[in-house]
Chains A and B, each alone.
Chain A
Amino acid sequence: MIRLPPYAEALKIETQRDADGRLVLTMPFGNHVAGRPHFLHGGAIAGLLEIAAILTLIDALGEQHPQIKPITITTDYMRGGREKLTYAAATISRLGNRMANVEISAWQDSEDKPIAAARINFLLARE
């Protein structure tokens, strides 16, 4: 499994694979990700979405190791994140030589009820 960046460890993120082999991240609720009373912090959700995107890209790139640099990130918050486990998974819309476009979704109770979604455009800086 991919080694997590320090910020992912600070958010207590863990990775697993679902039945289709897709990378799914989990983030437990706690003070470290709390925002307004009884809800997740939007920033912590954005952090989870970004890490899901990067790990999914690293997974797809295999033996290639370009530097993955986020250029634009747009996050939509659709439901308040409650005091429970949060999941996230990413879909790569396009993986090019220089750019990667990734869509990420986060959910709690069921995947068809996302709490937030993001689109991130990454520059892949190759040596």
Chain B
Amino acid sequence: MPPDDNPHDNLHEHVRQNLIAGTLDPQEFFEAVAEHSHNGLIGVHYVNHGDDWVELAIDYQDHLIGDRETGILASGPIVSLCDMGSGMAIMLTTKRFFQTVTIDLRVDYLRPAKVGASVTARMQCYRHTRNIAFVRGQAHDGDRASPIAQVSGTFMFLETMK
């Protein structure tokens, strides 16, 4: 498929240019990417970011429920949220638009998210080498001091960092 026919490729070029110019706007990025992907299904939205971290959130939605009896969210959307946040944290840290693939992601569920509450994940890229990025983070449902999940993951760059 020629690049011009793929909305993803145009979007990625736009993000790449913004990264080079130091003007990447994570909020704009998420709004653009949302309708094209799984992130749109779960409704990931941008909250905040810093030099090496980003905060993303999902609202409580009926189609994300994992247990009909309790109404508790499935863990899948929370993993997705952390996965997406990891990729973004890596881009912010490296200031490069290298695509990453997940090698492994571990999530410890400290307690269930409150029914009806939004879930916010703060992911930080705390180390990267030419090939690999290391990410850690936490998810909470309103109170950062009382996290619902602890997350760590490793990611590989599709191109080796020069």
Residues of A within 8 A of B (CB): 3, 5-11, 31-37, 41-44, 46-48, 50-51, 54, 67-77, 80
Q: Which residues on the A side are within 8 Å of B73 (C-beta)?
A: 7
B8→A35 contact, CB < 8 A? no
B64 contacts A by Cβ under 8 Å: yes
Known contacts A7-B66, A47-B76; A80/B101 CB under 8 A: yes
B38→A51 contact, CB < 8 A? no
CA distance A95 to B68 in the complex (A): 23
A6→B63 contact, CB < 8 A? yes
Secondary structure of the A contact surface, majority rule: mixed
Per the CB 8 Å criterion, the residue count for chain B at the interface is 40
Among B9, B64, B105, B106, contact of A7 (Cβ-Cβ < 8 Å): B64
Among A32, A50, A68, contact of B76 (Cβ-Cβ < 8 Å): A50
Segment 38-93 of B: residues with Cβ below 8 Å from A: 38-42, 62-68, 70, 73-77, 79-81, 83-84
Segment 2-18 of B: residues with Cβ below 8 Å from A: 6, 8-9, 12
Q: Which residues on the B side are within 8 Å of A7 (C-beta)?
A: 63-66, 73-74, 76-77
- Looking across the interface, which residue of chain B has its beta carbon closest to that of A43? B80
